[in-house]
Amino acid sequence: MESFAPHRETHWIVQPLLDAGLALDDIRVLVTRLGFAAVVGGRHADCTSLLDLVADRPTDVRAAWVETIDRMTTRPLPGC
Each residue's pLDDT tens digit, 54-75 = 999 999 999 999 999 988 888 6
Q: Is residue 44 part of a domain?
A: yes
Is pTM beyond 0.85 here?
no
Give the Cα separation of 17 and 62 in Å (integer).
9
Q: Is residue 27 part of a domain?
A: yes
Q: Is residue 56 part of a domain?
A: yes
Q: Dihedral through CA 33, CA 60, CA 22, CA 15, nearest 10?
A: 90
Q: Is residue 50 part of a domain?
A: yes
More confident residue, 75 or 27: 27
Q: Number of structural domains, the chain?
A: 1
Q: Is residue 9 part of a domain?
A: no
21: left (phi over 0), alpha (psi -120 to 50) or beta: left
